[in-house]
Homo-oligomer: A and B are copies of this chain.
Amino acid sequence: MLTSLSYALLGLIGQAPRSGYELMNLFRTTPLGRYSGSPGAIYPALKVLETSRLIHGVVKRPSTLRPKRMYRLTAQGRLALRRWLQQPMTIDDAAFREPELTLRFALMEGVLDDKAIERFLKDFSAICDEYAASIEGHLKKPGMTLHGRLALQGGIDAYRARAEWAKRAIRRVRAEHSRDGSRSDKQRKGQRSP
């Protein structure tokens, strides 16, 4: 199993060919930074992805001591990405790996179809509500301090907010999709916003 960082790299390379440096800057200058953006993590991760044949680096500036590589997804890489994006969602994902779910959502545009995206958001909303309810269970337990209960309430509020967000997001992607559908029914894959 790959890490979140590796999948983030896979997803970003899928959007457009990119170099390690470019990826590093994306992490450093955007909220993607949550998934870590140090060269000591990114370059080794890219190496692993390349030896696993999920990405392939085309070497610019060859036969120097400091070659530059532009990475692209291989067919295998595209498949691995898609499998990760389509993974069934568990309550543990919501509880302990919520950022990875958000990452999946951010990277599934242009890879999964409208139906799968809507499914994802519905599941996400439901699972966030479910997890919020499970925290509520702890609230009633004896021996909880005031701050303990308040901290739990904060968690509940945050997950409820996530669930509401997902419901709004469904409407937003629907609106976008119907516009896209009436405008241009073809054109997919490998495109990038201008």
**What is the interface of chain A, defined by CB distance below 8 A to chain B?**
15, 30-31, 33-34, 95-96, 102-103, 105-110, 135, 138, 142-148, 150-155, 157-158, 160-162, 164-166, 169, 172-173, 176, 193-194
By the criterion CB–CB under 8 Å, are A150 and B105 in contact? Answer: yes
Closest residue of B by beta carbon distance from A36: B96
Alpha-carbon distance A152/B160, docked complex (angstroms): 17
Q: CB distance B135 to A150 under 8 Å? A: no
- A160: nearest chain-B partner, CB-CB: B161
User: What's the Cα separation between A96 and B68 when bound, in Å?
Assistant: 31
Q: Are B158 and A173 in contact (CB under 8 A)?
A: no
Q: Is the CB of B173 within 8 A of A165?
A: no
Top 5 nearest A-B pairs (CB, nearest first) are A109-B147, A161-B161, A106-B151, A154-B165, A157-B165
Q: How far is the CB of A134 from chain B (nearest CB, A)?
A: 9
Pair A165/B153 contact, Cβ less than 8 Å: yes
A59 to B176, CA, bound (A): 65
Other than A33-B96, A153-B165, give 11 A-B pairs with Cβ distance below 8 A: A31-B152, A34-B96, A105-B147, A106-B145, A108-B147, A109-B147, A143-B194, A145-B193, A157-B165, A158-B158, A158-B162
Q: Is B102 a contact partner of A154 (Cβ separation < 8 A)?
A: yes
How far is B24's CA from A8's CA once the two chains are assembled, in angstroms? 32
Q: In angstroms, how far is the closest chain B Cβ from the Cβ of A73? A: 17
For A157, list chain B residues within 8 Å (CB): 161-162, 164-165
A155 to B108, CA, bound (A): 17
A109 to B151, CA, bound (A): 11
Please name 18 pairs of A and B residues whose Cβ atoms are closer than 8 Å in the assembled complex, sorted by A: A31-B138, A31-B155, A102-B151, A102-B155, A106-B145, A106-B147, A109-B147, A110-B145, A143-B194, A146-B172, A146-B176, A147-B173, A150-B172, A150-B173, A154-B162, A157-B161, A158-B158, A160-B161
